[in-house]
Structure 1
Amino acid sequence: MKELLADVTPLRRSPAFRRLFVGQCLTMVGSQVTQVAVPWQVYSASHSSVALGLVGLAALLPIVVFGIYGGAIADSMDRRRLILITSTGSAAVSVALTVQALVHTDSLWVLYACVTVQAAFFAIDLPTRRALLPRLVAPEDLPAANALLLLVFTVGIVGGPLAASAAVSLGGYGAAYAVDVVCFLLAITFISGLPSVLPEGGGRRADLSSVVEGIRYLKSRPVLWMCYVLDLNSTVLAMPTALFPILAVERFHGGPELAGYLSAALAAGAFLGSMFGGWMPKVRRLGRAALLAVFAWGLSLGALGLAGSLWTAMLLLAVAGYADTVSAVERSSILQHETPDELRGRTSGVLTVVGAGGPRLGDVRAGLVSAAVGPAVAAVSGGVACVLGALALAKAAPEFTRYRMAEPKPAEQGTGGQGAASEQGTASEQGAAAPDSAQAPALADD
């Protein structure tokens, strides 16, 4: 049983990763509270579902626009410094949210502006953190480190609404946003203790040509572009969340609470995948493991359309959530291990866009198909299409299926490896882990 629990080896071996991990925990707590509180305040001020939907649009557009360019910035400067800048900027936005709540401006445009600016900082921050990770841990510890960070994410997704509810009920929206401010300030103190991490080669200027260089590199490496396309295959074709309200009413004869149970089941599966993923760092055939996880995701969500009881549906969604976690961890590890350090920011930026856009497109597909032929067919057809798509991709890029991470050298085991930066010097002085970058589940989710 102990071997199934999350592998905490990276936390033991790397002091720098411990700082990143604690900072990530704090950031996740605060940001999740804000992400829940803002829609509540918007709806409270407007009582409009359209106004509520614009919150998502305000967050999505800057992620798409700044995601790729943010990765280029991460490849142009000290990544520790860039995370401090984005964290400070996000904290300033949270201060603005706190002030507007305390003075009761109730301006939707102020809220939309804050969401947009904070999403832009996030779009730069996320690829920077992903590019930084392989410089803090040994190559063989990447899967375990990714699983631990994904565990933080899933706990935040589950606990964020609860923390937001408590903060709003006790002190109003201002108290909720103040929690985010405090969490960001604490996170900044931990991140400031990280070593300086310049891209190998000193970095290059962040401009359009550097973005194009990163995309061309991805196109030339089947093992890498498969990580992105496989993610899109899973989310665009089989993302089930848009079907939850319809299934709750039409299939299970319930209401919003049943739709909440379905969402919780998917999140619970992702949490279990992170919590009991101690076996994942031992897997060397990462490409094959990711493909098998996508098959499990597609089959589970296809079977969801045939589920006759709520408990069966929840079990299938839990399996899908677990499979999504496995797929995310293995694909992230491949990307981080196989991309040169000087390109990791840009490849991570592409992943940020894919992670943000794929699930939204999947919701559109599910909604349109459900409107045309019903939610059951939408779920079954999506799951089948996902599996068939994964099979076609595996045939198109056999290198991905055959991909195998090398066994760690005996001298590296238990030492943190050459990729683990100490807190006493720069990561470039300590050496860098071999190539590169990552994602969090369609839940990261992403």
Structure 2
Amino acid sequence: MSESNPATGPIDEVRPSTSLPPADDSRLDARRGARAHLVDLRPLTESPAFARMWIGGSITGVGSQMTIVAVGLDIYDRTQSTFAVSLVAAFALVPMVLFGLYGGVLADSFDRRIVALVSASVAWVTTAGLAAYAWSEAEPTAPLYLLITLNTVAATMVGVARQAMVPRLIRRELLPAAGALGGISGGLMATVGPALAGVLVATVGFAWTYTIDVVLFVAAFYGLWTLPSLRPEGEKTRPGMRSVIDGARFLKRAPNIRASFLLDIFAMTFGNPRVLFPAIGAVLIGGGAITVGVLTSAVAVGALLLSVFSGQLGAVRRQGLAVGIGVGVYGATIVLFGVVLLVAALSPGVVDASLESVNWPALIAACLLLAASGAADSISMIYRNTMLQASVPDHMRGRLQGLFTVVVTGGPRIGDLYVGVLSVTALLWFPPLLGGLVIVVAAAVIVRVQRTLRFYDAADPQP
């Protein structure tokens, strides 16, 4: 008979990270044929705790993505400046890095469920602050920068704690499947969220858009409150700078994890053209806020489709090589996206924010390439997460997940600043064209130089 805690749920929902029952061959056989190509749902069916966290995070993420796009549109509407939009990333970067690292320490020191709940509460309050400020109809942009920075920091800490919990809730063999489910969740977030943002901003305005996110955020508390207690296993960690340094030292001894981080830094720094989207919709392709939502959603559509048909990803053993190939393909799609923008810039005709003036061939080509980039990034993301969660000890997982989250969320913000600075040349096609080339070269060099990454074996995960 299993014990139960009324506040946290059944204790036996937590799987110790050292207990890894062998895969059930009969279940694998049942997945043969056409169904074997679809996403593996066993993480949801075997672990109710994981399922609740996944559902709650997915719903909340739709609203969060909606707000991210809305804030960019809000600032661009107030300033008419792509550089001003890119400053959202600049202001959030340092606090996000610091609290992302410290969030990892907290996740290795205390109950990860409590860390996630407290951080989610801060994120919810700042979302409510954005709504209240929009309803006040005040003009200055400074409060928007402050609130979205605090929101980003809190969301980063939630993500660190949540990801550190996953290997305790499911078997190691199912980590790629959990990563694919995360891709579906992320795809839904980034598809539905930006599309809703574009439509809502264009119809009911910014205040209602932020308010809807306040309501959707309640789902996060359901997903986290109903989790079991998840205290770190193994060596005890005390919060402080020494623990952060210990995490960095471990990364120094983990060449495969380190190389995967480096690949992602290049990809997210030089291949994230999202801050260009408002200007692309206003002056290059046309369509205004609707085009911004469509372009942002295209990336997520690619990630979503890849994750839906991810059934065979769990059979790949050379996961490090898969990360390198995924990043290289991602860079190539960003290069081609830059080429599409260049052709659009050279095309005759006048475009503006109205739908009547949209350059449809350019918009369709841009969406297809961004969808391909989302699929490639999803492959590298799934295997990066799997490698980290499978090879890093539980007592160190929060800190490494903190470093990883800083890379995943910090890289795009450095990239936003990179794109914003280059965009002052008014050549909107130049940042993605140059950045994509940098990514392709970097991926080839890192995979070639880091031999252990090329031959990383999922059956014997080594950090």
Q: TM-score range by the shorter chain?
A: 0.7 to 0.9
Name the residue aligned to 1:336. 389
Name the residue aligned to 1:221. 254
Name the residue aligned to 1:444. none
Name the residue aligned to 2:325. 292
Q: Does 1:392 align with 2:445?
A: yes
- The separation in 2 between residues aligned to 1:99 and 1:373, in whole angstroms, is 35
Q: Does 1:198 align with 2:254?
A: no
Shift of 1:27: 1.7
Shift of 1:118: 1.8
Shift of 1:72: 1.1
- The separation in 1 between residues aligned to 2:141 and 2:267, in whole angstroms, is 34
Q: 1:133 aligns with which of 150, 166, 169?
A: 166
Q: Does 1:150 align with 2:174?
A: no
Name the residue aligned to 2:408. 355
Relative to structure 1, the CA distance from residue 244 to residue 184 in structure 2 (aligned partners, 3 Å threshold; closer, same or farther) is closer
Relative to structure 1, the CA distance from residue 385 to residue 203 in structure 2 (aligned partners, 3 Å threshold; closer, same or farther) is same
- The separation in 2 between residues aligned to 1:273 and 1:42, in whole angstroms, is 33
- The separation in 2 between residues aligned to 1:43 and 1:303, in whole angstroms, is 26
Partner of 2:217, secondary structure, is helix
Relative to structure 1, the CA distance from residue 314 to residue 23 in structure 2 (aligned partners, 3 Å threshold; closer, same or farther) is closer
Q: Does 1:404 align with 2:457?
A: yes
The TM-score with structure 2 as length reference comes to 0.77
Quick one: which amino acid aligns to residue 194 of structure 1?
L
5 Å-filtered alignment, 1:227-242, equals: 227-241=260-274
- The separation in 2 between residues aligned to 1:435 and 1:136, in whole angstroms, is 21
Relative to structure 1, the CA distance from residue 334 to residue 75 in structure 2 (aligned partners, 3 Å threshold; closer, same or farther) is same
Q: 2:222 aligns with which of 168, 171, 189?
A: 189
The Cα offsets for residues 126-159 of structure 1, whole Å up to 9 and x where unpaired, read as 1111111111111011111111122212211121
- The separation in 1 between residues aligned to 2:44 and 2:366, in whole angstroms, is 36
- The separation in 2 between residues aligned to 1:269 and 1:356, in whole angstroms, is 19
Name the residue aligned to 1:318. 371
- The separation in 2 between residues aligned to 1:86 and 1:406, in whole angstroms, is 35
The answer on whether the counterparts of 1:335 and 1:435 sit within 8 Å (CA) in structure 2 is: no
Relative to structure 1, the CA distance from residue 6 to residue 190 in structure 2 (aligned partners, 3 Å threshold; closer, same or farther) is same
Shift of 1:225: 0.2
Name the residue aligned to 1:269. 302
Relative to structure 1, the CA distance from residue 384 to residue 164 in structure 2 (aligned partners, 3 Å threshold; closer, same or farther) is closer
Shift of 1:162: 3.5
Shift of 1:304: 4.1
What CA RMSD, in Å, does the superposition of the two structures yield over aligned residues?
Answer: 3.4
Shift of 1:299: 2.8
Quick one: which amino acid aligns to residue 377 of structure 2?
D
- The separation in 1 between residues aligned to 2:192 and 2:73, in whole angstroms, is 16
> What stretches of structure 1 of length at least 5 have no aligned partner?
408-433, 437-446
Percent identical across equivalent pairs? 35
- The separation in 1 between residues aligned to 2:118 and 2:315, in whole angstroms, is 36
Relative to structure 1, the CA distance from residue 179 to residue 328 in structure 2 (aligned partners, 3 Å threshold; closer, same or farther) is same
Q: Does 1:90 align with 2:127?
A: no
Tell me which moved more, 256-265 or 327-336.
256-265
- The separation in 1 between residues aligned to 2:75 and 2:334, in whole angstroms, is 32
The Cα offsets for residues 381-413 of structure 1, whole Å up to 9 and x where unpaired, read as 544432332222123221111111128xxxxxx
Quick one: which amino acid aligns to residue 222 of structure 1?
P
Tell me which moved more, 369-378 or 221-230.
369-378
- Matched positions, count: 408
Relative to structure 1, the CA distance from residue 210 to residue 404 in structure 2 (aligned partners, 3 Å threshold; closer, same or farther) is same
Quick one: which amino acid aligns to residue 386 of structure 1?
I
The TM-score with structure 1 as length reference comes to 0.79
Relative to structure 1, the CA distance from residue 8 to residue 82 in structure 2 (aligned partners, 3 Å threshold; closer, same or farther) is same
Shift of 1:376: 6.4
The answer on whether the counterparts of 1:6 and 1:148 sit within 8 Å (CA) in structure 2 is: yes
